[in-house]
Structure 1
Amino acid sequence: MDIDWAALGSVFGVSLVATVALVAVFTLGITALSRRERATAQGDSATLALTGAYACFAACAAAVAYGIYIIVA
Protein backbone atom coordinates (compact mmCIF):
# COMPACT_ATOMS: atom_id res chain seq x y z
CA MET A 1 0.00 0.00 0.00
CA ASP A 2 1.38 3.37 -1.03
CA ILE A 3 0.14 6.65 0.43
CA ASP A 4 0.16 9.73 -1.79
CA TRP A 5 1.37 12.23 0.81
CA ALA A 6 1.09 15.20 -1.55
CA ALA A 7 -2.60 14.51 -2.18
CA LEU A 8 -3.21 13.95 1.53
CA GLY A 9 -1.52 17.26 2.37
CA SER A 10 -3.53 19.02 -0.33
CA VAL A 11 -6.81 17.67 1.05
CA PHE A 12 -5.77 18.68 4.57
CA GLY A 13 -4.87 22.21 3.46
CA VAL A 14 -8.08 22.76 1.52
CA SER A 15 -10.16 21.34 4.38
CA LEU A 16 -8.44 23.60 6.89
CA VAL A 17 -8.93 26.73 4.78
CA ALA A 18 -12.57 25.86 4.05
CA THR A 19 -13.29 25.22 7.73
CA VAL A 20 -11.71 28.48 8.87
CA ALA A 21 -13.53 30.42 6.14
CA LEU A 22 -16.89 28.84 7.00
CA VAL A 23 -16.47 29.58 10.70
CA ALA A 24 -15.44 33.16 9.91
CA VAL A 25 -18.50 33.74 7.71
CA PHE A 26 -20.80 32.27 10.37
CA THR A 27 -19.17 34.50 12.98
CA LEU A 28 -19.78 37.54 10.77
CA GLY A 29 -23.45 36.53 10.60
CA ILE A 30 -23.69 36.29 14.38
CA THR A 31 -21.94 39.65 14.71
CA ALA A 32 -24.37 41.23 12.24
CA LEU A 33 -27.32 39.94 14.26
CA SER A 34 -25.77 41.40 17.39
CA ARG A 35 -25.39 44.77 15.70
CA ARG A 36 -29.00 44.57 14.56
CA GLU A 37 -30.17 44.06 18.12
CA ARG A 38 -28.02 46.93 19.31
CA ALA A 39 -29.35 49.22 16.58
CA THR A 40 -32.98 48.38 17.26
CA ALA A 41 -32.44 48.99 20.97
CA GLN A 42 -31.19 52.48 20.11
CA GLY A 43 -34.09 53.08 17.72
CA ASP A 44 -32.00 53.02 14.54
CA SER A 45 -32.70 51.14 11.32
CA ALA A 46 -30.89 47.84 11.07
CA THR A 47 -31.80 46.60 7.60
CA LEU A 48 -28.19 46.49 6.40
CA ALA A 49 -27.10 44.40 9.38
CA LEU A 50 -30.01 42.02 8.91
CA THR A 51 -29.30 41.69 5.20
CA GLY A 52 -25.65 40.98 5.91
CA ALA A 53 -26.57 38.35 8.48
CA TYR A 54 -28.91 36.64 6.04
CA ALA A 55 -26.22 36.70 3.36
CA CYS A 56 -23.66 35.15 5.71
CA PHE A 57 -26.03 32.41 6.84
CA ALA A 58 -27.05 31.72 3.24
CA ALA A 59 -23.38 31.37 2.28
CA CYS A 60 -22.88 28.90 5.14
CA ALA A 61 -25.92 26.89 4.11
CA ALA A 62 -24.74 26.86 0.50
CA ALA A 63 -21.29 25.62 1.53
CA VAL A 64 -22.80 22.84 3.64
CA ALA A 65 -25.19 21.85 0.86
CA TYR A 66 -22.31 21.77 -1.64
CA GLY A 67 -20.30 19.57 0.70
CA ILE A 68 -23.20 17.16 1.05
CA TYR A 69 -23.62 17.17 -2.73
CA ILE A 70 -19.95 16.28 -3.20
CA ILE A 71 -20.21 13.43 -0.69
CA VAL A 72 -23.35 11.97 -2.27
CA ALA A 73 -22.27 12.35 -5.91
Structure 2
Amino acid sequence: MNIDWAALGQVFGTTLVVTVAMVGLFTLGIVGTSRKPRQEGEAGTAAAVGGGTSAVARTGGYACFALCLAAVGYGIFLIVAG
Protein backbone atom coordinates (compact mmCIF):
# COMPACT_ATOMS: atom_id res chain seq x y z
CA MET A 1 0.00 0.00 0.00
CA ASN A 2 1.48 3.33 -1.09
CA ILE A 3 0.40 6.61 0.44
CA ASP A 4 0.70 9.76 -1.64
CA TRP A 5 1.94 12.04 1.14
CA ALA A 6 1.89 15.15 -1.04
CA ALA A 7 -1.79 14.68 -1.84
CA LEU A 8 -2.57 13.93 1.80
CA GLY A 9 -0.77 17.13 2.83
CA GLN A 10 -2.74 19.14 0.26
CA VAL A 11 -6.02 17.77 1.54
CA PHE A 12 -5.03 18.46 5.14
CA GLY A 13 -3.90 22.02 4.38
CA THR A 14 -6.97 22.85 2.32
CA THR A 15 -9.27 21.41 4.96
CA LEU A 16 -7.56 23.39 7.70
CA VAL A 17 -7.77 26.69 5.78
CA VAL A 18 -11.40 26.22 4.75
CA THR A 19 -12.43 25.19 8.27
CA VAL A 20 -10.81 28.24 9.86
CA ALA A 21 -12.35 30.49 7.19
CA MET A 22 -15.83 29.02 7.70
CA VAL A 23 -15.67 29.36 11.49
CA GLY A 24 -14.41 32.93 11.09
CA LEU A 25 -17.18 33.87 8.68
CA PHE A 26 -19.85 32.30 10.86
CA THR A 27 -18.47 34.11 13.91
CA LEU A 28 -18.51 37.43 12.05
CA GLY A 29 -22.10 36.69 11.03
CA ILE A 30 -23.11 36.10 14.63
CA VAL A 31 -21.34 39.24 15.82
CA GLY A 32 -22.86 41.31 13.02
CA THR A 33 -26.42 40.23 13.73
CA SER A 34 -26.30 40.11 17.54
CA ARG A 35 -28.05 42.72 19.60
CA LYS A 36 -25.84 44.90 21.71
CA PRO A 37 -27.08 45.37 25.30
CA ARG A 38 -27.84 48.91 26.36
CA GLN A 39 -25.17 50.33 28.65
CA GLU A 40 -25.85 52.50 31.66
CA GLY A 41 -25.20 56.14 30.84
CA GLU A 42 -25.51 55.71 27.05
CA ALA A 43 -29.18 56.60 26.86
CA GLY A 44 -28.52 59.66 24.70
CA THR A 45 -26.63 57.96 21.88
CA ALA A 46 -28.40 56.83 18.73
CA ALA A 47 -27.14 53.24 18.98
CA ALA A 48 -28.29 52.85 22.58
CA VAL A 49 -31.78 54.18 21.90
CA GLY A 50 -32.60 51.35 19.51
CA GLY A 51 -30.69 48.80 21.54
CA GLY A 52 -29.66 46.93 18.39
CA THR A 53 -27.05 46.75 15.69
CA SER A 54 -26.55 49.16 12.83
CA ALA A 55 -27.89 48.33 9.41
CA VAL A 56 -24.37 48.03 7.97
CA ALA A 57 -23.29 45.52 10.61
CA ARG A 58 -26.49 43.50 10.17
CA THR A 59 -26.07 43.45 6.39
CA GLY A 60 -22.46 42.35 6.76
CA GLY A 61 -23.55 39.60 9.12
CA TYR A 62 -26.12 38.34 6.65
CA ALA A 63 -23.48 38.45 3.89
CA CYS A 64 -21.20 36.28 6.05
CA PHE A 65 -24.02 33.79 6.55
CA ALA A 66 -24.67 33.77 2.79
CA LEU A 67 -20.99 33.02 2.10
CA CYS A 68 -21.11 30.15 4.59
CA LEU A 69 -24.22 28.80 2.90
CA ALA A 70 -22.57 29.10 -0.52
CA ALA A 71 -19.48 27.22 0.69
CA VAL A 72 -21.59 24.41 2.16
CA GLY A 73 -23.64 24.22 -1.05
CA TYR A 74 -20.47 24.05 -3.13
CA GLY A 75 -19.14 21.25 -0.91
CA ILE A 76 -22.35 19.28 -1.34
CA PHE A 77 -22.16 19.88 -5.09
CA LEU A 78 -18.60 18.50 -5.17
CA ILE A 79 -19.65 15.40 -3.23
CA VAL A 80 -22.67 14.70 -5.42
CA ALA A 81 -20.92 15.45 -8.74
CA GLY A 82 -17.85 13.39 -7.88
TM over 0.5: yes
- The one-character-per-residue Cα deviations of 1:20-66 (angstroms, maximum 9, x if unpaired) are 000000000111112xx228871257211110111000000000000
Aligned residue for 2:49?
43
1:16 maps to 2:22 = no
1:33 maps to 2:41 = no
Question: How many Å separate the matches in 2 of 1:50 and 1:17?
Answer: 26
What fraction of aligned residue pairs are identical, expressed as a percent? 59
Look at both structures and tell me which one has the larger radius of gyration over its CA atoms.
2
Unaligned runs of 5+ residues in structure 2 are 38-45
Count residues with an aligned counterpart: 71
Aligned residue for 1:66?
74
- When the two structures are superposed, what TM-score results if normalisation uses the length of structure 1? 0.87
Q: Structure 1 stretches (4+) deviating beyond 4 angstroms? A: none
Shift, 1:70, TM fit = 0.5
- When the two structures are superposed, what TM-score results if normalisation uses the length of structure 2? 0.78
Question: How many Å separate the matches in 2 of 1:43 and 1:11?
Answer: 49
RMSD across aligned positions (CA): 2.0
**Greater helix share, 1 or 2?**
1
